Each structure stands twice: as C-alpha cells, then as structure tokens.
Amino acid sequence: MVKHKIEVFTSGCPLCKETIQIVREAKCPECTLTEYNILEKAEHFERARKYGVKAVPSIVVDGKLAIEGKPTVQNVKNILGL
C-alpha cells in the first residue's frame, strides 16, 4: 500500500467536520492526515491558495488538489488507489 500525504482544508463548518470523518474512515493506516482550518491561521489560508483551493472542504493528496466539496468514502478510496 502506498503511503499518501493527505491535507484537508476546512473552516470548521459541519460539512468540513463530516469530510474529516470520511477521510479518516477511507484512508489507509500508513497515510498521514493533516487538517488546516483556513480561519485559524493566515499560513493555512496561504497554503490553501498555493494548491489552488477555492472552496472548503478541499482535499489535497500528495501535493495535488484532488477533491473540492464533501466526498464519499468511495471517492477518497478511489483517489488513494484503495
């Protein structure tokens, strides 16, 4: 299994919280998951801009914007190749 670096950009909204739970459920144990709340720190907002994030929640996998909006577990698994 490939270890992926997963970054989820959020704003603390209910949809964002659901997205974090979905990613936790879908990812493999070796994958790393980091949440960046763009409202908490300016550097989180800047990081999101670097990836081209235009909406939250957004999921970046291995440095590439993969999903914008709330995904399904299967969407996440497909992106991760699981």
CATH number belonging to the domain at 5-80, selected among 3.40.50.920, 3.40.50.720, 3.40.50.300, 3.40.30.10: 3.40.30.10
- Tell me the per-residue pLDDT of 19-36, one tens digit each, with 9 for 90 and over: 999 999 999 999 999 999
Assigned token pair, 9: 């950009």
- Tell me the per-residue pLDDT of 49-72, one tens digit each, with 9 for 90 and over: 999 999 999 999 999 999 999 999
Residue 81's φ and ψ, nearest 5 degrees, are: 75, 30
Q: What is the pLDDT of residue 2?
A: 82
Assigned token pair, 68: 């914008």
DSSP 27: S
- Tell me the per-residue pLDDT of 43-52, one tens digit each, with 9 for 90 and over: 999 999 999 9
Residue percentage of the chain with pLDDT more than 90: 96
Q: What is the pLDDT of residue 10?
A: 97
